[in-house]
Amino acid sequence: MKERLPLDILNSLTSGVIAVDMENRVVFLNRVMATRLGVHAAEWEGRHAAELLGHVTPHMASAQDEMNLRLGWPADPKAKRSQELEWRVDDQVVNLREDSAALRDANGAVIGRVFFYHDISREKMIDRMKSEFIAVASHELRTPMTSIKGSVDLILSGFAGETTADTQELLEIAQKSCDRLVRLINDILDLAKIEAGQVKLNRVPMELGDIVERSIRGVKSLADQGDVELQVERPDDLPMVEVDKDRMEQVVTNLLSNAIKFAPSRSLVRVALHLEDGWVQCSVIDQGAGIAEADLPKIFGKFQQVGTRKKGGTGLGLAITQALVHEHHGKIWVESQVNQGTRFIFRLPALPR
């Protein structure tokens, strides 16, 4: 009874559980997960997890290299990870949150990894309903806000005649507030379109380095204002990726603007490109104050301005960036330590040479 107790507990959970060894071969599959996948747990013991999960996770290759990368071997088997997934089982979409941590033996040695899958479909549905409401409200606000901004701009330009210094100052405050509200409305509508699947991407083969170079030119004036140096590390033989040029430039520009915003004066923001395991990877690295470990899981959330990074903005830029990377079948994450800077990393599938 004592030997069975741990497995009985795992089988009684309402969340799915998968445990794998250091080679990503299944060592345990609880009843909920087996039922969700439509398989018999005993038949999958010893088989590679990529075979088990590849048919339900969009854009996941069945190759072992992809699964090794996703599970974190061999780079950091001890790390705890959390991400949201969209699975398709029998033509039904299931939204899951995947939490994972190291699997250890009785002596504490890492012998594999354990994954917990929590059904968050209801939460995602409620979130979509809230997003739709916000999008409708934002759309209705856009027209009057544009009219107000246009009127203020005309008065400031002298179209309605001369104004006093005090009036000019008040109008400039109104102008800045209008600009901020317009940016917020545009970001909300942009994110709502992406989440609703209404953004059509015109994907063409391109070098990611070219997009980075254009983005660098676009934020150069912002960097100069903050006395921040921009540097690019770009290999000559980097393979192409299939992207929507404008949307991917938006991704890189968002990450660069974010890094510049939190970079100290006379510091460096570096963009590093390289090829890794069939992915073109782009890292945007700043030398700012960093992000506390407890805040890292919230960094891509909507309206999140966490920890030491509270410095204005709409709080939607990183959420939009993450959504656009996912639309390109890519991955994005953040690595940071307080007082040691921050590294945002995204990767896209490399096209065959």
Question: Do 214 and 330 sit in the same domain of this protein?
Answer: yes
Say if residues 309 and 291 touch (Cβ distance below 8 Å): yes
What pLDDT does 225 receive? 93
Among residues 64, 95, 119, the one where a domain terminates is 119
What pLDDT does 211 receive? 96
Question: Do 128 and 64 sit in the same domain of this protein?
Answer: no
Question: Do 343 and 208 sit in the same domain of this protein?
Answer: yes
Question: Do 139 and 178 sit in the same domain of this protein?
Answer: yes
Query: Number of folded domains in the chain?
Result: 3
Question: Do 220 and 344 sit in the same domain of this protein?
Answer: yes
Question: Do 263 and 334 sit in the same domain of this protein?
Answer: yes
Q: Tell me the C-alpha distance between 122 and 125, whole Å.
A: 5
Question: Do 136 and 274 sit in the same domain of this protein?
Answer: no
**The domain that contains 319 carries what CATH number?**
3.30.565.10
Q: What is the pLDDT of residues 150-187, one digit of tens each?
A: 899 899 888 888 888 889 899 999 988 888 888 888 88
pTM confidence score: 0.62
Question: Do 47 and 149 sit in the same domain of this protein?
Answer: no
Question: Do 341 and 261 sit in the same domain of this protein?
Answer: yes
By the 10 Å C-beta count (0-12 exposed, 13-18 middle, 19+ buried), 185 is classed as buried
Question: Do 130 and 17 sit in the same domain of this protein?
Answer: no
Among residues 195, 219, 248, the one where a domain terminates is 195
What pLDDT does 249 receive? 95
**The domain that contains 161 carries what CATH number?**
1.10.287
Q: Strand 16-21 vs strand 110-119: parallel, antiparallel, or unpaired? A: antiparallel
What pLDDT does 78 receive? 56
Secondary structure of the chain in HEC code, one letter for each residue: CCCCHHHHHHHHCCCEEEEEECCCEEEEECHHHHHHHCCCHHHHCCCEHHHHHCCCCCCCCCCHHHHHHHHCCCCCCCCCEEEEEEEEECCEEEEEEEEEEEEECCCCCEEEEEEEEEECHHHHHHHHHHHHHHHHHHHHHHHHHHHHHHHHHHHHCCCCCCCCHHHHHHHHHHHHHHHHHHHHHHHHHHHHHHHCCCCCCCEEEECHHHHHHHHHHHHHHHHHHCCEEEEEECCCCCCCEEEEHHHHHHHHHHHHHHHHHHCCCCEEEEEEEEEECCEEEEEEEECCCCCCHHHHHHCCCCCCCCHHHCCCCCCCHHHHHHHHHHHCCCEEEEEECCCCCEEEEEEEEECCC
Which positions of the chain have pLDDT values less than 50?
A: 1-5, 58-75, 308-310
Q: What is the pLDDT of residues 94-136, one digit of tens each?
A: 788 878 788 888 888 888 888 888 888 888 788 777 777 777 7
Q: How many CB atoms lie within 10 A of CB 287?
A: 19
In which domain, by residue range, is 64 found? Answer: 5-119
How far from 83 is each of 59, 95, 269, 310, 331, CA to CA, in Å? 15, 11, 27, 23, 10
- Identify any residues that bridge with 242 across adjacent strands, giving them in sequence order: 205
Among residues 86, 119, 152, the one where a domain terminates is 119
What pLDDT does 229 receive? 95
Question: Do 231 and 282 sit in the same domain of this protein?
Answer: yes
**The domain that contains 26 carries what CATH number?**
3.30.450.20
Question: Do 152 and 28 sit in the same domain of this protein?
Answer: no
